[in-house]
Amino acid sequence: MSQKKVLILDYSVDRTETECIRRWLPVDLQVSSLFIDTEKSFPDDLIESDFTHVIHSGSALSIMDSVPFAEKAVNYIRRTMNKGVFQMGICYGHQLVCRALVGKRAVRPSPNGLEAGWRSVTFVNGAMNLFGVRESERVWQHHFDEVTELPEGSELLATNPHSNIQAYINDEQRLFGTQFHPEFDRDTGNKIFVEDSELLKKNGYDADALIKQGPSFNVGNVFFGFFLSLQ
């Protein structure tokens, strides 16, 4: 197989996602990134590029927001899927992919409100063996919205009581998504909790309590390594 070429589509408002994702990728891997915040920031001819793997990042945006790049993003996700390119979505990116391929009914504000902290998820349907993890593991969470319906043919890989769809895979459509954020390790994740302490407090969380915790396994290596192994 030819060399893997990765594209990171960074939807983060503060442009931090690219750096957080890149550090989990092999240094000799060919990686490109684009910060997406306007219609013009999404190139019209991007679909013509020969990327093998595309990562749709997380964001401080809500999937329920009206954004200027939405139409281009949806079109790109659909055409990329039709080309047989592997796509990974993280939180907002995960929601964006499902909204593009299923429709607006696939996403909603979580009725349980904000999910934040190093929260446990349960791995199901053989995911323990697929990722080499235990049945229950702690991962970094920070989201108000969630996916309620996956593209046809998808298989649920992880779940928890707050948001049922925490991770999934779709072999036929070459999709992989996580509601949680594998790009954040303990230091980077806890730094965000400190910065968001007032928001967390308003939603019933204590930032000081959250930062005493951390992931229960090497989340970034596991999930980005798995995504890059898809071929």
Active-site choice (56, 142, 143, 181): 181
The CA distance from 78 to 100, in Å, is: 7
Active-site choice (17, 137, 146, 183): 183
Instruction: Return the SS3 of 64.
Output: coil
What is the DSSP-derived secondary structure letter of residue 207?
H
Among this protein's residues, is 56 annotated catalytic? no
Is-contact 179 147, C-beta < 8 A? yes
Beta bridge partners of 30: 5
Active-site choice (20, 56, 91, 137): 91
Helices in the chain by DSSP H: which ranges? 17-22, 70-83, 92-102, 127-131, 186-195, 197-202, 207-210, 219-229
Among this protein's residues, is 94 annotated catalytic? no
Among this protein's residues, is 181 annotated catalytic? yes
**How far does the chain reach from its first CA to its final CA, in angstroms?**
8
Residues known to be catalytic: 91, 181, 183
